[in-house]
Structure 1
Amino acid sequence: MERVSSDERRLIEHIDGPAMLRSVERWVAVNSGTRNLPGLARMAGLLADAFAVLPGELTLVDPAPVDAVEPDGRVRAIDHGRHLLLRVRPQAACRMLFTGHMDTVYGVDHPFQEARYREPGVLNGPGAADMKGGLAVLLAALGAIERGGPTADFGYDVVINSDEETGSFASAALIEAHAAGKVAAFTYEPALPDGTLAGARGGTGNFSLTVTGRSAHAGRNPEEGRNAVVAAADLALRLAAEGGPGLAVNPARIDGGGPNNVVPDHAVLRVNFRPKAAADIARADAAIDRIIAGVAEARDVAISRHGSFNRPPKPIDAAAVKLFALVQATGSDLGIPIQWRDTGGVCDGNNIAAQGVAVIDTMGVRGGAIHSPDEYMIVDSLAERAALSAVAISRIARKGGL
C-alpha cells in the first residue's frame, strides 16, 4: 500500500472487520423478505440503530403506493416496509449518494433461514452477500470517513430501501430525488467472487396484460364465447416475436381458465422485457400497444395493460468511466485488483444513472450464488471492500468531485 497516503492509512485503521462480521451475522438472522413486513420493520430498526452512529438526520420513510394485478385481474394495493434515509451535511458543496436494500428474496416460509459457515471464511446465509454484507461495508466506510476523513465540505445521503428485490416500485422516487445533484454514487450490491464489478446494465420492464373475453359452453355454443386464454397465448407469441438484438422478451406466465367445459372469459399474461438501450424501450412500448390492439381486434376481447419499464438501461458514459478509473486506481493502491464487465442484471444503479449521476453499483462484498440457498459471502472481503470504499470516497471528497 505504498501509494496510500498517511491520512488514507488512518482511515483504514478505523475499519473493524470482526465487528462488521458480527453485524452481518445479526442481520442475516432476521428474515426480511420483501413481503415480510414484520421482518422488514425489525430490520429497519436494527439498521436505524446501527447507522445512528453517523451524524445527520435519520428517518424511516413511508413507502410510495404500489398496485399489482391479481390472478383474477383485480388491481390491489401492495404494502411495503419503510425505507431508511440519512442526510449528512446537506449544504456541503460536494455530496454523494449511497444506496442499499434491506430486503431479501427469501420469504418468511422459505426453507433458507439460517446462516452457517460453508468453510472457514465463507458465510452461507440468506442475504449475506445480497446485501446485508454490503450494508456493513457501507456503514464501516462512512464511519471511517466521519472519524478520519475530509468532512468539512463533504456531505451525503444514504437510502436503504425495503423493496429493491421486487423492482423498487415503492422507493424509486425517493432514490431518484436524492440522486439529484450528487457528484457520484455507490450502491452496495455484491461484487463477483473475484471482485469483478458490474459495468453497463440493460433495463427491465414488467407488465401484466389482462384479457376479458366471454364465457360459453365449450360443447353446446363455443362459437359464442371469446377465449381469453387463447387471446393471452396469442399475445405471448406476438410479443415473443418482437425479441431480438437489443430486446429480450420473456412471456413468463398466464393466469386464467377454469373448467374444461367452459370457454374462459378471463386471463392475465405476465411478461418481462429486457431492453439494452433507451431506443429499445421506445420500440418495445410501441410494440406492446400495437400487439394489444391487434389481438383485441382479432379475438374480439378487451385487453388492459398494467406495468412499466421500471429500470432504465445503464450505459457507461464519460462520467462513469471516470468513476470506475478512480475506484480502479484506488484498488490498485490498496493491492485490490478491480475489473468490471457488463451484465444483464438490474438494480437501483439503473435508476441512479438515469438521473445523470455516475454510479458504481457493486461496491459490496465479494460473494456469489445470490438468490439461492447457496448464497455466500467471503468474510475477508468485508474489511477489504470497506477500505476500498473509504479511500475512494475520501479521494472524491478531497477533489470536490470526479
Structure 2
Amino acid sequence: MDRVAQVEAWLDRRSEEMARLLERLVAVDSENPPGRALGRCAAILRQEMDRLGLSPEIIDIAGAPAHLEDPCVVRGTAGDGDRLVYFHGHFDVVPAQHPAQFTARRQDGRIIGRGAADMKGGIVSMLYGAAAAQELGLLGDGRIVVHLVCDEETGSVVGAGHLRAAGLIDPAALAMLTAEPSGGGIWNAARGAISLRVDIQGREAHVGQADTGVNAFEHLLHVARPVERYAAEMAGRHTATPMHPDDATGTMIVVGGLFGGGSNFNVVPGSAYFTVDGRYNPEEDLGVELKRLTALIEDAAVEVGAQVSITTTQSQPSARTAPDHPAAAALARVVAGVQGAPARFEMCAGILEIRWYAQLGIPAFGFGPGRLDVSHGPEEYVEEAAMRRCAAVYALYAGDLLA
C-alpha cells in the first residue's frame, strides 16, 4: 500500500469519530463577537487532542479584553524531533443567524452548522492529520506543533498575536498550514487590512430649538462621502496575484459597516460614528493608504467645521509565499496526489493568520476543507469527504517535509 492509500485508509476507519468531534465543536456557541464559551471549546479540544496522543496544554492569556470568556491558546505536539511544522487554526466563530445553527445536521455527506466551514471542520482535519502522521510513523526526526487560537474573527491580536509576542513561534519552522476554507485551493497569499472608527462630535438640542444644535449626523454624511469615493477608486486597482475567478481583484473597502449616534428622534444628534474596513491588495502600501484615508476625513471635517476623531482599530500587513518556494512546491505535490488534480495557488480575498508566521520568514499557507462562499452563512457546511482529504494532505505534507 502506498503512503497516500495508507493515510486515507487510517482516516476512513475514523470517519465517524471525525464527524462526532465536529458535531461536538459546532454545539459550542463560541461566537466572537462577543467571545463567549471560548474556555468551554478549548476544554473539548484539549480532551480530544489528549485522546489522539497530541500532548495538549492550554495557555491562558492574561490582559485580554474583558468581554472574551476564558481567552486561551490550545497547543499540542505530535512527534519529538527538532525539525518543525506548524498546524494553526481558530475555534471562535462569527455570530449565528439563528440558535439552531449550533445543532449540527448531517445531510447528504455534509455537516451543516455554524463554524463547520470556518473553521471547526478544518480543526478536525488538522488534529486527525497530525494524529495519522504520528501513528503511521511519517514524522521522522521532526514534529508537528498545533496552535488553536480564540480570536481570529476579531483581529487575532489576542491569540495569534500572543504567540508571536511571547516567542512561541519558532522562526526556524519549515512551514505553517492553517485550515481556512480554501475550497481545495492553496491560499499562498492574503490581503492586508486597515480598519477605522470615525467619531463625530456635535451638540444636542431639542427639535424646537434645532437651530442651536450642531448636527453630528449631517457632518457624518459630509465626512463619509470622500471615503466612499476612495473606496470606489481602490476597487478599480487590481492585483496581479492570482485569485479565485469569483473573487474581485480590486482592494475591497466597506464604509459604514457599523454606524450610529443620537439619543432620540426629536433631538439634534450630538454624536455619530461610522466604521471603515478595508482589505488591501499586496501591491498597496498600508502606511501610505492610512495617511490618505486620515487626510480625506480630516479635510472633509474642516470644510464643514466638524469635530472628528479617528481610531485605527486594525492595521495588518498582507502576506505571501511564492508558489515556487520549495515548501509551496511540496504542498502542491501532496495536494495533487490526494485530490487527483493539479493544485492551484490563489490569494485569499480576506486576511489570514498566515501573516503572523510569514513575518518571521516561515512559508505559510491556507488550505482547508470548507468553502469560503458558504462560510458565515445560515447554511454553512463542510463535506465529510473533504475533511478526510484535507486531513490526508496535512499528514502527508508534514511527512514530506519532516521525514
Q: TM-score, normalised by structure 1?
A: 0.83
| Amino acid in structure 2 at the alignment position of 1:395 | D
- Aligned position for 2:30: 32
**346-355 or 139-148, which moves further after superposition?**
346-355
Task: Pick one of 209, 213, 218 that aligns with 1:225.
Answer: 213
1:95 alignment counterpart: 84
CA deviation string 1:147-188 (max 9, x = no partner): 233545313432211221222232231243444412210001
- 1:47 pairs with 2:45: yes
Q: What is the aligned-residue identity percentage?
A: 23
Structure 2 equivalent of residue 189 of structure 1: 180
Q: Say if 1:101 and 1:163, in contact at 8 Å, map to a contact too.
A: yes
Question: 2:255 matched to which residue of 1?
Answer: 251
Q: Secondary structure at the match of 2:99?
A: coil
* Structure 2 counterparts to residues 182-331 of structure 1, below 5 A: 182-192=173-183, 195-218=184-207, 220=209, 222=211, 224-243=212-231, 244=234, 245=237, 247-252=251-256, 253-277=258-282, 279-317=284-322, 321-331=325-335
Task: Give the Cα separation in 2 of the matches to 1:351 and 1:294.
Answer: 34
Cα offset for 1:266? 0.5
Whole-angstrom distance in 2 between the partners of 1:46 and 1:211? 44
Q: Which amino acid aligns with 1:384?
A: R
Deviation at 1:390, TM superposition (A): 0.5
Return closer, same or farther for 1:275/1:111 CA change in 2, 3 Å cut-off: same
2: CA distance, partners of 1:367 / 1:248: 16
Give the secondary-structure state (helix, strand or coil) at the position aligned to 1:117.
Answer: strand
Paired residues of 2:328 and 2:363 also in contact (CA < 8 A): no
Deviations 1:93-127 (A, max 9, x none): 421221111112234963423222332x1222222
Cα offset, 1:379, TM superposition: 1.1
Correspondence list, 1:15-94, <5 A: 15=11, 16-35=14-33, 39-52=37-50, 53-56=52-55, 58-62=57-61, 64-66=63-65, 78-86=67-75, 88=77, 92-94=81-83
Q: Describe how 1:373-384 pairs up with structure 2 within 5 A.
A: 373-384=378-389
Judging changes above 3 Å, is the alpha-carbon distance between structure 1 residues 225 and 172 closer, same or farther for their aligned structure 2 residues?
Answer: farther
CA apart distance, 1:351: 3.4
Distance of 1:294 and 1:360 partners within structure 2: 40
Residue 59 of structure 1 aligns to a residue whose secondary structure is strand
CA gap 1:278/1:384 in 2 versus in 1, 3 angstroms: same
Cα distance between partner residues in 2 of 1:171 and 1:84: 6
Say what the alpha-carbon RMSD is for the aligned residues.
Answer: 2.9
1:220-268: CA deviation from partner (whole Å, max 9, x where unpaired)? 462x433221222222112222232154332123211244553322111
Structure 1 match to 2:125:
137
Partner AA of 1:170 in structure 2:
V
Aligned-partner SS, 2:16 = helix
Q: Secondary structure at the match of 2:362?
A: coil
1:361 CA drift (Å) = 1.2
The letter of the residue matching 1:106 is P
Q: Do 2:188 and 2:323's aligned partners in 1 also have CA atoms closer than 8 Å?
A: no
From the superposition, tell whether residues 385 and 255 of structure 1 become closer, same or farther in structure 2 (CA, over 3 Å): same
Unaligned 5+ residue runs, structure 2? 238-249
TM-score w.r.t. length of structure 2: 0.83
Secondary structure at the aligned position of 1:169 is classed as coil
Distance 1:278 1:351 in 2: 19
Q: Indicate conservation of the 8 Å contact 2:190/2:320, yes or no.
A: yes
Q: State how many pairs are aligned.
A: 379
Structure 1 residue runs without a partner (length 5+) = 67-76
Q: Contact 2:252/2:278 (CA < 8 Å) preserved in 1? A: yes
